[in-house]
Amino acid sequence: MPENNIISIKDLYNIFKFKTTEEIDVSEKISEQIIGQDRALDIIKKAAKQRRHVLLIGDPGTGKSMLAQALAEILSEDKDQVRNLEDMLVFPNPNDEYQPIIRTVPMGTGKKIVEEIRKRILEQTKMFQYFYIILLFISAFTPMYFYYAGNYIMAGATFIGFMILMASLSFSFQVMQKQIMKNVPKLLVDNSNRTSVPFVDATGAFEGMLFGDVLHDPFQSGGLETPAHQRVIAGAIHKANKGVLFIDEIATLRPEVQIELLSVLQEKKYPIFGRSERSAGAMVRTTPAPTDFVLVAAGNLETLQKLHPAFRSRIRGYGYEVFMNSEILFTEEIANKFAQFVAQEIKKAGNIPSFTKEAVIEVIKEAQRRSGRKNYLTLRLRDLGGLVRLAGDIAKSKGKEYVEPEDVMEAKEKALTIEEQLSKYYIERRKEYQIIKTEGYEVGRVNGLAVIGSRLYYSGLVLPVEAEVVPGKGSREIIATGNLGKIAKEAIVNVSTVVKKKFGEDLKKYKVHVQFLQTYEGVEGDSASITVATAIISALKNWPVRQDLAMTGSLSIRGEVLPIGGVIAKIEAAIESKLKEVIVPEGNYNDIPEDLFDKIKITPVKTIDEVIEIAIANKI
């Protein structure tokens, strides 16, 4: 079977040749651990070669931070770039103490310079140390001499006098030593013993951490003050010099901070100064420090709206923008990479058992389910990695040598998202109070299907819809309740056109009431269109509808049933509710995994006529 052909879960039993993940080799290179982001990885390689900035946009957990680390890894393959790294020192400025001088030296020499200067300065204080020791001996023995000579008054007087003298000398020595040590530079960035270029993750960093800062000095006079250059703190932009700076959730940076970062990217150098106006550090501003790094900024789709246009323009003009894949075609090549992913997660965890082949297949089955389509696997691998670790913990707690499929299935039950937990709760409560009916026939009542949650995290839900049609005043009036969103309301209005076209009934003669039962969580979208149409037609014609059936699908004004999202989650909700059959758009039929067909009857439809025929059955 060609590696690029779409496969099914059943094919994996023949494709996988390993018995456990112990047999799978895991590469040490980060770039070879990235799965499903080939285009992004190719751009990262180009960015490394040309030292271009990169903006990564995509769903959480799709590998943005790994791509940033891969960029640093690729840069480090050029040993000249590693050898050319620099240490960063800050020296006192003899002409202006509030403008310390930043200097760079070859990697590994910064510590030596600091130690040599400190050693030289300490040599200058040795004579004073000897003098201090001599006085210490005199102050100790003189009172003893007078004491044994019987002159107790002189003994006490010399003891007190020498103690005062020693305290004064001690204080003077400390002040003198502090003044002398003012000339010792501070090592800001130490790259000694590095074997790779710096990779600095500045995600969530506040301004001082990102751009550097100057600490406050509570003692600003009297010889106790800390020299300005000793209070300078390097920022992430300086530590990343000649390496990679990674900032995830870049939109959390305020616009003015983004502009400041833009200046850093343009100038490739930036001074360090005090960030607080109330601090003594506000008076200090160093000479510009080098900031020649490759920026990898990351975020989700909403990030683009919050990026300053000038900042984004800089990346677009001098780098790349990459949209991350959130799912990938289910092929033999990708299946093998997912098996590699499971082995990688086991190695990273370090304390969980290996997975059997069957357990790996169960993980891939879950990746298929989370994608929402049979022929795809999700690439939100961080969440999937959590499932792998939980399954490993479960197997370990049972004393197993390997993780087996039942451990993965147990982990799936324990690792339900909040949305999935809410869905189960709603289904149980609605069945308990007979809001969801699973048998018999009723006029004007249909079991619809919906999803609860966001685009990233959602779960299926059975959504009963009721309709009543009563004589009106000659003008069409459709009243819909149930916390409906704008699109849902528009879809209900469109249903009247379908009813008139298909059944010759003009709803202008009627007053139509549609209720989505107990939808406190709200309803949005048009995937309940066929449900609403069936309920209205049932109420209009007095045709009873099967209650062991649920349906989902968008309805065009021509009566065509169009594809919808979340079909797998919706079918799972119908299964959870113990319904016998579910109607889905024909366009979604190939999105449904094979195992769901064993749990419920799934019927694809093209038009509203087919929906009515199945829902009404032989009751007309």
Question: Residue 40, Cβ neighbours under 10 Å: how many?
Answer: 24
Q: Residue 543 in contact with residue 391, Cβ under 8 Å?
A: no
- The C-alpha atoms of residue 372 and residue 564 are separated, in whole angstroms, by 11
Question: Which one of the listed residues 64, 186, 570, 577 is annotated catalytic?
Answer: 570
Task: Identify whether 242 is a catalytic site residue.
Answer: no
For residues 197-224, one letter each, b for 16 or more C-beta atoms within 10 angstroms of the residue's C-beta and e for the rest, the string is bbbbbbeebebbbbbbbbbebeeeeeee
Query: What is the secondary structure of 171-207 as a DSSP string?
Result: HHHHHHHHHHHTTS-EEEE--TT-SS--EEE-TT--H
Query: What is the secondary structure of 364-419 as a DSSP string?
Result: HHHHHHHHTSTTEEE--HHHHHHHHHHHHHHHHHTT-SEE-HHHHHHHHHHT--HH
Residue type present at position 143: P
- The C-alpha atoms of residue 369 and residue 376 are separated, in whole angstroms, by 9
Question: Which one of the listed residues 65, 76, 527, 529 is annotated catalytic?
Answer: 527
Beta strands 510-516 and 458-471 are antiparallel
- The C-alpha atoms of residue 384 and residue 366 are separated, in whole angstroms, by 8
Q: Residue 396 in contact with residue 353, Cβ under 8 Å?
A: yes
Question: Residue 46, Cβ neighbours under 10 Å: how many?
Answer: 14
- The C-alpha atoms of residue 442 and residue 514 are separated, in whole angstroms, by 15
- The C-alpha atoms of residue 565 and residue 279 are separated, in whole angstroms, by 55
- The C-alpha atoms of residue 27 and residue 32 are separated, in whole angstroms, by 6
- If DSSP codes are grouped into helix, strand and coil, which group holds residue 155? helix
In the numeric block, which tokens belong to residue 543?
């045709």
Q: Which long-range contacts (CB under 8 A, 24 or more apart) does 411-416 make?
A: 411/387, 412/366, 412/387, 414/390, 415/386, 415/387, 415/390
- If DSSP codes are grouped into helix, strand and coil, which group holds residue 555? strand
- Residues ≥6 apart with Cβ < 8 Å to 237: 202, 210, 211, 212, 245, 261, 264, 270, 291, 293
Strands (DSSP E) found in 273-313: 289-290, 294-299
Q: What is the DSSP letter of 584?
A: E
Q: What residues form DSSP beta bridges with 471? A: 510
- CA 440 to chain centroid, in Å, comes to 47
- If DSSP codes are grouped into helix, strand and coil, which group holds residue 106? strand
- The C-alpha atoms of residue 297 and residue 252 are separated, in whole angstroms, by 11
Q: How far is CA 292 from CA 64, 242, 243, 267, in A?
A: 22, 5, 8, 9
Helix ranges (DSSP H) in 29-125:
38-50, 64-76, 79-83, 110-124
Task: Identify whether 570 is a catalytic site residue.
Answer: yes
Positions marked active-site: 527, 570
